[in-house]
Structure 1
């Protein structure tokens, strides 16, 4: 009976839709979100890290939102140079006279690129 109940609980967990990551900066206690830095050429490098089940469209929406915050006068150029899913591979266990099977697990989705703001127009 306990096996049946635990199996039903696992089935329900598998059907649950994961919540999207909260939009905000990555920090000591916050694993997912965005991080950015100013570049010497006047642009910004923006990195978005989201949970592994996140779709590319969600990562791009976070990235574009942060670009808009960094450039309140408008964005002149966007260059996304990296989009990848990070994975961890557990080694296959040793099996004498046989083959063990390793496991691959996705840990995060990252999108990174450069943002350049429109030049401010002089008043008057």
Structure 2
């Protein structure tokens, strides 16, 4: 009950402050030099994003189980493990001598390589 009463008082106080601020008298006159009577904007704005800045999206990989990642494709010991999640790739793809597909991905330790498991889904944009 105390919280409801204090909330009601706070809302009432804010409403009275807003009402008095909106009812304040505006004094002074507008400077005729700054009054805009009509204007045309002929200056073209400079575009921030150019067609050269637009790059195609990179494939995403949906991992369905824990997957090890390596800092190189020929490393035998993993640098860490990625849990089941959707991860973004850099777009770099390698195939090793055994036909395994390796993709470079972004991890919390920087860029790394994963051997794409058969249970993963690769979403190509």
TM-score bracket for the superposition, by shorter chain length: under 0.3
Tell me the TM-score normalised to structure 2 length: 0.23
Higher relative contact order (CA 8 A, sep 6+): 1
- Which has the larger share of strand? 1
- Which has the larger share of helix? 1
Structure with greater Cα Rg: 2
